[in-house]
Amino acid sequence: MPITDVTIVRRCADCSAEIGTMTVKKDNMRLMTSDMNWCEDCGAETREVRDIAEREATVTAEQGSYPGNPPVADVSAAEFRRRRRAGIAT
């Protein structure tokens, strides 16, 4: 069954405090808005920033699954050329 509903997290644009969440259909999803909302932490009307719930955790998990970089040999240019001529892998 395909996912049709998405949970949106609404945050204060100034202090990043969570204002609330809402669930919408993917077709009706709107992340950009110019609406002003009351922020309890700021004590003022501020703009809201919307983001998909758990997106940061999903991105972090995906980046953690990437293979690591191979170690870099720390040799001078002359030593590198000598090793390359000798057929020694660096």
* Per-residue pLDDT reduced to its tens digit, 5-61: 888 899 998 898 888 888 888 887 788 888 888 888 888 898 988 888 888 888 889
Burial 23-43 (b: 16+ CB within 10 A, else e): eeeeeeeeeeeeeeeebeeee
Is 19 in a helix, a strand, or coil?
strand
Assign 32 to helix, strand or coil.
coil
Helices (H), the chain: 55-64, 77-86
Which two tokens mark 86? 């000798």
What integer pLDDT is reported at residue 41 of this predicted model?
87
**How high is the pLDDT of residue 30?**
81
Please give the structure tokens belonging to residue 32.
């950009």
